[in-house]
Amino acid sequence: MHRLSRRSVSVVLRHGAARHRNATAPLSSANLLTGLSGEAETKQRWYSVLAAGRFNSTGSTKAFERNNVPYLGIRYESTAAASGSSDPPAEKYEYQAEVSRLMDLIVNSLYSNKEVFLRELIRHVFESNNASDALDKLRFLSVTEQELLKDGVDLDIRIQSDKDNGIITIMDSGIGMTRQELVDCLGTIAQSGTAKFLKALKESKDSGADSNLIGQFGVGFYSAFLVADKVVVSTRSPKSDKQYVWEGEANSSSYSIREETNPENLIPRGTRLTLYLKRDDKGFAHPERIQKLVKNYSQFVSFPIYTWQEKGFTKEVEVDEDPADEAKKEESDKKAVEKKKKTKTVVEKYWDWELTNETQPIWLRNPKEVSTEEYNEFYKKTFDEYMDPLASSHFTTEGEVEFRSILYVPAVAPMSGRDDIANPKTKNIRLYVKRVFISDDFDGELFPRYLSFVKGVVDSNDLPLNVSREILQESRIVRIMRKRLVRKAFDMILGISMSENRDDYDKFWENFGKHLKLGCIEDRDNHKRLAPLLRFFSSQSEDELISLDEYVQNMKTGQKDIYYIAADSVSSAKNTPFLERLLEKEFEVLYLVDPIDEVAIQNLKSYKDMNFVDITKEDLDLGDKNEEKEKQMKQEFGQTCDWIKKRLGDRVASVQISNRLSSSPCVLASGKFGWSANMERLMKAQTVGDTSSLDFMRGRRVFEINSEHPIIRTLDAACKNSPNDEEALKAIDLLYDTALVSSGFTPESPAQLGGKIYEMMDMALSGKWGAPTIEYQQPVTSAQNLEPVEAEVVEPAAAEAGSKN
């Protein structure tokens, strides 16, 4: 790895003088490189490009080696050059006619976030409009033209800032530019030197080497004017013996180019870009912020990026004592051994170059060479997590679209995301284009919202560098990437479910189970991948979740469907009368106790060619139909069913003989195409729900009776012997209300139902335990009759006579 020798710097800083340790001083816009001039012989000096002080050229500077020195710190001086130089006049150039309009578009429209200017300049500033491209190009050309590297300067990028004056300097030791290349590349929009270079390579027969140069647009350089009023580019190509300076200002239609003749500003090779920031944007010049931007956007550029940072080291210094106390001490200690002087620990600060980026992204390495600990460490560092992920997947996709990716399944859901599973906007996926960070602000372009909990990085070579939201939404490449990323995410989750440690998937399901259920609703194309991952409680597993595969394995002979019931809890589900006959036949029933469960299962429709059947709906088929018996029962109880239907009126669609009851007298089933009792309850609870659709969706209810139950047998006798008996009609009303509650529906008038129950209790308890009997009539006799009626007053004598009878 290309590093500046820290030991060399510290030797100079610690053994120079105190004035050398804090060498950075306010930067003058007229003089970027300062130092001595006019010496008799040519010398090399090493210093910060923004430093006002300088290091001695003797003594401790011997610790420096030429190859470890930043090229910007090398200055070639001569007496002749210093004394006889005079700057030639600068030549003024006009931008292309459309440049002014495009610059306004770039500054105000193309980039929505100002802080991307540094990312764009690192990759778009210099020859080929790109600092790392300039280094790539130099390295490639030096294979056949070794003289290009004759200066022996390391290939790197260095960024230095002056927060007091609002100046940022970005430097590279790449190929640099000639005068004509300055005009072509920095005076023309959409004129990319990298594009020209790649075109030449493509046309050349000897271009078999891999040259991954990322510049594609000529607009990246002008992102500097997002934050700067003035931009100065000083560049020198190894093919030229002259150095040129390009100067441009914001809102100007022209720029100037001049030859650099000041020996203090000469560089051996490469480009130096200086930004003079706008008043409101001087905050970008803080060294800490520069370092943060580099780590965020350019962490994995293939060349070292150094930033100029303040550092410190501790040392012991003597404490000055009071002169009077010191005199007394000298008198008292004349004959005693002199004690050690008092000292204290202080932190002495200095400035030094610090490597800010990692040049080898983990996703570019061979997965076989990366340990689990390295994957986990990268996950924690990248996404600010404190727990290891449940699973990770490192893969490379080749073919029509090529990209590399590492995906992770977090161990826990974020506290803000446990209830808000419908929000697709997360910062969980970091998109890189050729190792340059582009964005982590997506709205479902790379992952559907039900997989928004998946975290990871995606690095593509096929996407354009200036990726906008519109490009992500319309790009065919992105659609293919999304499809493959989703597939890999499912493979990773399936691996957790098949793990020998069942607790891993239980933990995953607790945190992200609702997300997968949402996927059943939104992503029909992936139903086959989603269904095996679902988990539910059941009539045979009330305490432990089971999968659909386990349900299928437990199916009884003759069972053709997968049965389920939706309720608000396992307790409610297991006590419902709908289960009676199924439990007798030992058919397992899934308990859907999560509000989203019912809708998810309805969207799945089937699993392994077996349909999901709601046992609360009408026409339940248990596979044991007997047509002769059904015909006989209809003949026997047909009149009773019509009598009950006449009494209930529009409250039910029909009255039928039930095949699902064994111990309960009746049940209220939902229509085949209407809401279930659970769904009706959920829809009523919606704060912004449309109540106008409630009557339509809940309109059909089927009242099913158990022909073998004593209550139904008694009502059958009442129907045939005394169909107009008031007590029998009241019993039908109470039977309906009771079935309404036991089937999971909400009574329309709970108070009225309570009154009926009290009346029945009075009838049952009347005259017992020696209590006097008082008869009364319920004010409202049925749900249809809501008119108040006068209570019948019974005389005590009549009451006593009735009790004797």
Output the known binding site: 120, 130, 172, 177, 192-193, 216-221, 271, 469
Residue by residue, DSSP assigns 274-323 as EEEE-GGGGGGG-HHHHHHHHHHHSTT-SS-EEEEEEEEEEEEEEPPPPH
697/682 Cα distance (integer angstroms) = 13
Element (H, E) at 586: none
* Phi/psi of residue 275, nearest 5 degrees: -110, 130
Binding residues for ATP: 120, 130, 172, 177, 192-193, 216-221, 271, 469
Quick check: 685 and 670 in contact, CB under 8 A? no
The candidate with the shortest Cα–Cα distance to 655, out of 699, 614, 647, 663, is 647
Q: 336 vs 694, 704, 791, CA distance in Å?
A: 102, 112, 118
Angle at 99 between CA 96 and CA 100, to 5 degrees: 120
* Phi/psi of residue 329, nearest 5 degrees: -65, -35
Which pair of tokens denotes residue 248? 């441009």
51/54 Cα distance (integer angstroms) = 7
Residue 443, SS3 per DSSP: strand
Contacts within 8 Å (CB) and 24+ apart, 501-506:
504/390, 505/535, 506/545
Q: How would you classify the pairing of strands 429-433 and 455-460?
A: parallel
Torsion of CA 779, 781, 787, 790, to 10 degrees: -30
Q: How many CB atoms lie within 10 A of CB 36?
A: 13
Buried b (16+ CB within 10 A) or exposed e, 337-376: eeeeeeeeeeeeebbbbbbbbebebbbeeeeeebeeeebb
Which pair of tokens denotes residue 679? 């769904």
Residue 553, SS3 per DSSP: helix
Q: How many CB atoms lie within 10 A of CB 704?
A: 26
Which pair of tokens denotes residue 630? 């059904």
275/273 Cα distance (integer angstroms) = 7
DSSP summary character for residue 557: T
Which pair of tokens denotes residue 456? 């990871």
